């Protein structure tokens, strides 16, 4: 058996997160281990955030992100908040700089205990999302859900916030749509060669929005931070909201600001549940 890895089960407004400490080690969490942990009722997660050595004096750590199915993710804002809280509780300070999937990421723990994450600059070109065919305007692409000629949802906006996102804007409450039925199909739609996160957003005012997301590689989730960021920037592009929006998800609210310098700032909470150790090769685990 491999030397066990310490972990904490946490959540970011309901987004189920496992934070694993692999600093000082050469091994990584295998897909098998991630799937085993992800499907266990007690350790089940939407994302596993594996903290590795920084490899750069200008960073505090490198983070590898795994989805429930063992696949890799390029961003997880709720998970990043959990990492910041985890490091802070262990004397890591309040300001952090990470590398995630090769991209720089910064975050800060605020005086009120909430955590702000700079999610970077959104990408909108069809090649960056990516899409399998060209769309000159990605603020509304040709895609429908429902009967031909009378779709329930149509013309979603798409963006890349570290992960590919497809956002449908709806007049009705997102809870009234069967996202659990069509989410899996759209995640694997031929338009999305890298798959996509599928969201339904209802704009309730220029500064508020309700959101529900089928998360790529994880399924329905109580919260998806990068999806909240994608929904806001897409809403701004369509002149539906202002640039600073409170996004209400099933697990709670996130404060999203798309600043004038093009960076997206996401602010919210992180909650600790329990600690344990696991085998990074198999996923076998024990509670502390």
Task: Pick the closest to residue 283 from 17, 48, 62, 83 (CA basis).
Answer: 48
CA gap 272, 101 in Å, rounded = 25
pLDDT for the residue 91? 85
- Pick the residue with more confidence: 270 or 101? 270
| Mean pLDDT for the stretch of residues 186-209 | 97
DSSP 4: P
Question: What residues contact 261, with CB distance under 8 A and at least 6 apart?
Answer: none
Asked which of 45-54, 89-98, 186-195, 279-288 is least confident by mean pLDDT, the reply is 89-98
**3-state SS, residue 104:** strand
pLDDT for the residue 102? 78
| Mean pLDDT for the stretch of residues 212-235 | 95
pLDDT digits (tens, 9 = 90+) for 152-172: 999 999 999 999 999 999 999
**Long-range contact list for 34-38, CB < 8 A, 24+ apart?**
34/66, 34/67, 34/68, 34/70, 34/283, 35/68, 35/69, 35/70, 35/283, 36/282, 36/283, 36/284, 37/278, 37/283, 37/285, 38/66, 38/67, 38/68, 38/69, 38/70
CB 5 within 8 A of CB 277: yes
C-beta neighbour count of 23 within 10 angstroms: 13
Report the top-level CATH class of 144-262: alpha beta
Instruction: Decide if 224 is catalytic.
Output: yes
pLDDT digits (tens, 9 = 90+) for 59-70: 999 999 999 999
E runs forming strands in 182-287: 197-205, 208-215, 219-221, 244-249, 252-258, 264-268, 271-278, 285-287
- What's the first-to-final CA gap in the chain, in angstroms? 18
Q: Domain 5-117+270-287 classified CATH 3.30.300.30?
A: no
pLDDT for the residue 1? 59
Sequence ranges of the domains in the chain: 5-117+270-287, 144-262
Supply the pTM of this predicted model.
0.91
Count of alpha carbons within 13 Å of 135, Cβ hemisphere only? Answer: 22
Decide whether 5-117+270-287 matches 144-262 in CATH topology: yes
CA gap 51, 39 in Å, rounded = 21
The residue whose two tokens read 């499907």 is: 39
pLDDT for the residue 75? 84
pLDDT at residue 2 tops 80: no
CA gap 28, 49 in Å, rounded = 11
Cis, bond preceding 280 (omega within 30 deg of 0):
no
Q: Which of 76, 82, 166, 229 is catalytic?
A: 76
% residues pLDDT > 70 (the chain): 100
CA gap 160, 130 in Å, rounded = 8
Q: Hey, what are 232's tokens?
A: 């806001």
CA gap 83, 63 in Å, rounded = 9
Task: Pick the closest to residue 45 from 276, 202, 265 (CA basis).
Answer: 276
pLDDT digits (tens, 9 = 90+) for 114-143: 999 999 999 999 999 999 999 999 999 999
Instruction: Decide if 166 is catalytic.
Output: no
Q: Which of 166, 224, 229, 234 is catalytic?
A: 224
């Amino acid at each position: 058996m491999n030397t066990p890895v310490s972990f904490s089960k946490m959540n970011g407004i309901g987004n189920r997160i496992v934070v694993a400490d692999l600093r000082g080690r050469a091994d990584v969490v295998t897909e098998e281990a991630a799937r085993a942990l992800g499907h266990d009722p007690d350790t089940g997660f939407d994302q596993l955030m594996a903290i590795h050595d920084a490899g750069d004096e200008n960073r505090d750590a490198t983070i590898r992100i795994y989805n429930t199915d063992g696949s890799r993710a390029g961003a997880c804002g709720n998970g990043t908040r959990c990492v910041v809280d985890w490091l802070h509780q262990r004397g890591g300070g309040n300001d952090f700089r990470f590398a995630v999937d090769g991209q720089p990421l910064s975050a800060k723990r605020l005086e009120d205990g909430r955590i702000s994450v700079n999610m970077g600059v959104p990408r909108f070109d069809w090649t960056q999302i990516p899409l399998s065919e060209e769309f000159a305007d990605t603020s509304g692409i040709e895609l429908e859900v429902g009967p031909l000629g009378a779709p329930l949802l149509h013309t979603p906006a798409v963006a890349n916030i570290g992960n590919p996102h497809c956002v449908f804007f709806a007049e009705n409450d997102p809870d009234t749509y069967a996202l659990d039925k069509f989410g899996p199909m759209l995640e694997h739609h031929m338009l999305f060669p890298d798959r996509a996160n599928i969201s339904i957003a209802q704009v309730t005012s220029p500064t508020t929005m309700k959101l529900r997301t089928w998360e790529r590689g994880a399924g329905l989730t109580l919260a998806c931070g990068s999806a909240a960021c994608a929904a806001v920037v897409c809403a701004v592009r369509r002149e539906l909201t202002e640039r600073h929006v409170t996004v209400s998800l099933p697990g709670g609210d996130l404060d999203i600001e798309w600043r004038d310098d093009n960076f997206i700032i996401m602010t919210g909470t992180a909650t600790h549940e329990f600690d344990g150790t696991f085998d990074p090769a198999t996923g076998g685990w024990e509670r502390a």
